[in-house]
Chain A
Amino acid sequence: MLSVVGPLDQTANHRFVEHVMGMPISLALRGRHAGTARGRAAWQAVMAELNAVDRVFSTYRADSFVNRLDRGEIRLEDCPTEVRVVLELGERAARSSAGAFSVSLPSDPDDPGSRRRLDPSGVVKGWATERAARELETLEDTDFCLSAGGDVTCRAAPEREPWQIGIENPHDRSRIVAVVPLRAGAVATSGTSRRGAHLFDARTGRRPSGVDQVSVIGPSLTWADIDATAAYARGVDAARWLTTRPISSAIVVRPDGSVLRVIPSTTEQKVST
């Protein structure tokens, strides 16, 4: 890796990447602790938290608390308190989306009538990443941009440039459809993916159709993730529904490739086709 900057360069990114929960976790640090032992320790603390969350919540691990709860082998009182926190977030998300979002989803993705299983993945990813990012907030005079499988949370000091977040083109992953400058807050994206097991319109039990991708920009990654997932689940109603949400803005990519920029309290604006 080519490195041409010295320790006093406050603008250079220092990068880390590791995999957990079946996705890459990418971190960029910039500023005083970007290259220090404390910076590295904060990164390791982030990864330790995400690994701990995976052990509790993974629907892919037979012995996770979530799967054992789903099978009726344990009760909610037997689980770590975070499980109740996540399930309550799921309840709020279900109410705000009129049931399009749910943590109770068909166990067979091809059978809308199959037994419902507990799958809080739509809540856990954003919630866990926002929580883990608190480790980075303790680094003085240090900017961070943390992406967990494409869900991003960041902070940039006023004297430095905002982070530039590219929104992936769902029809061509080598390209982007927009660039979002972000100084503090989050961007979460939901859409067609190879591991989109938790992406359903829970009202019908079917895979959503109508929009191909939703990205939500807002102050909280937990709710950006929930709202992106819920909007995607609502299909053609995604953009309208997003105007009712407490978000900064959203970007919706439709099957014909057109890109909508959604700003709450105004009507949606078509920015490009």
Chain B
Amino acid sequence: MLVQSTLQAQSAKIDMVSGATVTSGGYLQSLQSALDQAGI
């Protein structure tokens, strides 16, 4: 399985984010919420 290092989510096609800090409190500023709101 290939694992590529990238610097910014915007430069790669990401479907979902795995992180340790994904709480409801921090959600609105998160990468994941950007993905969910874009609906793509």
B26 with A179: CB separation less than 8 A: no
Do the beta carbons of A150 and B14 come within 8 Å of each other?
no
Digit string of A207-225 for contact with B (CB within 8 Å is 1, else 0)?
0000001010100000000
Interface string of A1-12 (1 = CB under 8 A from B): 111000000001
Instruction: Give the contact-size bracket for chain B.
Output: 35 or more
Main secondary structure of the interface of A (DSSP, over half): strand
Contact A149 B14 (CB under 8 A): no
Is A188's CB within 8 Å of the partner chain B? yes
Q: Which residues of B contact A22 (CB under 8 A)?
A: 23-25
Complex CA distance for A10 and B26, rounded to whole angstroms: 32
> In chain A, residues 108-126, which have Cβ atoms closer than 8 Å to a Cβ of chain B?
none
- For A64-106 the 0/1 string (1 means CB < 8 A from B) is 0000000000000000000000000000000000000000000
Residues of A within 8 A of B23 (CB): 22-24, 149, 193-195
Tell me whether B13 and A164 are in contact (CB under 8 A). Answer: yes
Most buried by B among A14, A151, A165, A173: A173
Given contacts A24-B22, A28-B15, A193-B23, contact A179 B33 (CB under 8 A): no
Task: Tell me whether B20 and A213 are in contact (CB under 8 A).
Answer: yes
**Docked pose: A194 CA to B15 CA in angstroms:** 24
- Chain A contacts for B21, CB-based, 8 A: 150, 168, 170, 173, 191-194
How far, in whole Å, are A154 and B36 apart by their CA atoms in the complex? 16
Q: B19 CB to closest chain A CB, in angstroms?
A: 3
Instruction: List 6 other contacts, CB 8 Å, given A19-B24, A170-B20.
Output: A2-B39, A28-B15, A154-B16, A166-B18, A176-B8, A189-B18
